[in-house]
Amino acid sequence: MGKLKRAFERFECYLPAEVEELEGKYNLVETVAARDISQEGLKLVINSNINSNIFSGSSIKLKLHCPEKGLSATLSGEIVWIKCVDNELKLGLKIKQMDNKLKKMFVDWAFIKALEKKRG
Protein backbone atom coordinates (compact mmCIF):
# COMPACT_ATOMS: atom_id res chain seq x y z
CA MET A 1 0.00 0.00 0.00
CA GLY A 2 1.13 3.52 -0.72
CA LYS A 3 1.46 6.29 1.82
CA LEU A 4 -1.82 7.90 2.88
CA LYS A 5 -2.32 11.40 1.59
CA ARG A 6 -4.05 13.62 4.10
CA ALA A 7 -5.85 16.81 3.27
CA PHE A 8 -4.49 18.41 6.47
CA GLU A 9 -1.19 17.95 8.29
CA ARG A 10 -1.40 16.30 11.72
CA PHE A 11 0.57 17.67 14.64
CA GLU A 12 1.79 15.57 17.56
CA CYS A 13 0.33 16.57 20.89
CA TYR A 14 -0.86 15.30 24.22
CA LEU A 15 -4.40 16.40 24.97
CA PRO A 16 -6.39 14.69 27.73
CA ALA A 17 -9.90 13.68 26.76
CA GLU A 18 -12.97 11.99 28.16
CA VAL A 19 -15.16 9.64 26.19
CA GLU A 20 -18.72 10.83 26.74
CA GLU A 21 -20.41 8.38 24.40
CA LEU A 22 -19.42 5.46 22.20
CA GLU A 23 -22.07 3.94 19.97
CA GLY A 24 -24.82 5.05 22.35
CA LYS A 25 -23.03 3.77 25.47
CA TYR A 26 -21.72 6.12 28.16
CA ASN A 27 -18.73 6.24 30.55
CA LEU A 28 -16.85 3.35 28.93
CA VAL A 29 -13.29 4.65 29.17
CA GLU A 30 -11.44 6.66 31.79
CA THR A 31 -7.90 7.26 30.52
CA VAL A 32 -7.74 8.64 27.00
CA ALA A 33 -5.59 11.20 25.22
CA ALA A 34 -5.35 12.71 21.77
CA ARG A 35 -1.82 12.19 20.47
CA ASP A 36 -2.13 14.11 17.22
CA ILE A 37 -4.66 16.46 15.72
CA SER A 38 -5.53 18.11 12.42
CA GLN A 39 -8.44 20.08 11.01
CA GLU A 40 -10.20 16.87 10.06
CA GLY A 41 -9.17 14.26 12.62
CA LEU A 42 -7.12 13.05 15.53
CA LYS A 43 -5.47 9.96 16.97
CA LEU A 44 -6.90 8.85 20.29
CA VAL A 45 -4.98 6.51 22.62
CA ILE A 46 -6.78 4.49 25.28
CA ASN A 47 -4.61 2.97 28.04
CA SER A 48 -7.04 0.35 29.27
CA ASN A 49 -8.63 -2.93 28.41
CA ILE A 50 -11.72 -1.91 26.53
CA ASN A 51 -14.32 -4.27 25.22
CA SER A 52 -14.02 -5.43 21.65
CA ASN A 53 -17.24 -3.73 20.57
CA ILE A 54 -15.28 -0.84 19.08
CA PHE A 55 -15.03 -1.10 15.32
CA SER A 56 -14.35 1.10 12.32
CA GLY A 57 -17.41 3.18 11.60
CA SER A 58 -18.36 3.49 15.29
CA SER A 59 -19.50 6.92 16.43
CA ILE A 60 -17.78 8.55 19.39
CA LYS A 61 -18.29 11.74 21.39
CA LEU A 62 -15.37 13.24 23.35
CA LYS A 63 -14.61 16.15 25.58
CA LEU A 64 -11.12 17.33 24.60
CA HIS A 65 -8.98 19.50 26.88
CA CYS A 66 -5.94 21.73 26.43
CA PRO A 67 -4.96 22.57 30.03
CA GLU A 68 -2.13 24.87 28.92
CA LYS A 69 -4.62 27.14 27.10
CA GLY A 70 -7.59 26.54 29.41
CA LEU A 71 -9.60 25.14 26.50
CA SER A 72 -12.22 22.42 26.45
CA ALA A 73 -14.39 21.34 23.55
CA THR A 74 -16.87 18.63 22.79
CA LEU A 75 -16.57 16.84 19.47
CA SER A 76 -18.19 13.94 17.75
CA GLY A 77 -16.45 11.75 15.25
CA GLU A 78 -16.25 8.46 13.45
CA ILE A 79 -13.62 5.82 14.14
CA VAL A 80 -11.85 5.20 10.83
CA TRP A 81 -9.05 2.86 11.99
CA ILE A 82 -8.09 0.84 15.06
CA LYS A 83 -4.71 -0.57 16.19
CA CYS A 84 -3.82 -2.45 19.37
CA VAL A 85 -0.20 -2.03 20.55
CA ASP A 86 1.15 -3.01 24.01
CA ASN A 87 -2.09 -2.59 26.00
CA GLU A 88 -2.86 0.61 24.14
CA LEU A 89 -5.79 0.92 21.83
CA LYS A 90 -5.14 3.53 19.15
CA LEU A 91 -8.07 4.96 17.23
CA GLY A 92 -8.07 7.23 14.20
CA LEU A 93 -11.02 9.60 14.35
CA LYS A 94 -12.56 11.69 11.62
CA ILE A 95 -14.07 14.75 13.26
CA LYS A 96 -17.72 15.07 12.26
CA GLN A 97 -18.82 17.92 14.51
CA MET A 98 -16.78 20.43 16.53
CA ASP A 99 -16.97 24.17 16.98
CA ASN A 100 -14.74 25.52 14.17
CA LYS A 101 -13.24 28.31 16.28
CA LEU A 102 -12.27 25.88 19.05
CA LYS A 103 -10.94 23.36 16.54
CA LYS A 104 -8.69 26.04 15.05
CA MET A 105 -7.45 26.99 18.54
CA PHE A 106 -6.56 23.34 19.33
CA VAL A 107 -4.82 22.80 15.98
CA ASP A 108 -2.95 26.13 16.19
CA TRP A 109 -1.73 25.21 19.69
CA ALA A 110 -0.50 21.81 18.45
CA PHE A 111 1.18 23.46 15.44
CA ILE A 112 3.08 25.89 17.69
CA LYS A 113 4.14 23.01 19.96
CA ALA A 114 5.40 21.09 16.91
CA LEU A 115 7.43 24.12 15.78
CA GLU A 116 8.93 24.52 19.27
CA LYS A 117 9.87 20.83 19.36
CA LYS A 118 11.48 21.06 15.91
CA ARG A 119 13.58 24.05 16.97
CA GLY A 120 14.82 22.13 20.00
Q: Spell out the domain ranges in the chain.
A: 11-115
Looking at the predicted structure, is the pLDDT value of residue 14 above 80?
yes
State which H helix or E strand residue 88 sits in.
Answer: strand 88-98
Least Cα distance to 82 among 43, 35, 26 occurs for 43
Domain 11-115, CATH 2.40.10.220 — does that match? yes
d(CA 32, CA 19): 8
- Report the number of secondary-structure helices (H) and strands (E) in the chain: 1, 6
Looking at the predicted structure, is the pLDDT value of residue 1 above 50?
no
Q: Residue 5 — very low, low, confident or very high, per pLDDT cuts 50/70/90?
A: low
Tens-place pLDDT, residues 32-84? 899 999 999 999 998 765 555 678 899 999 999 999 999 999 999 999 999 98
At residue 28, the pLDDT reads 61
| Higher local confidence (pLDDT), 11 or 3 | 11
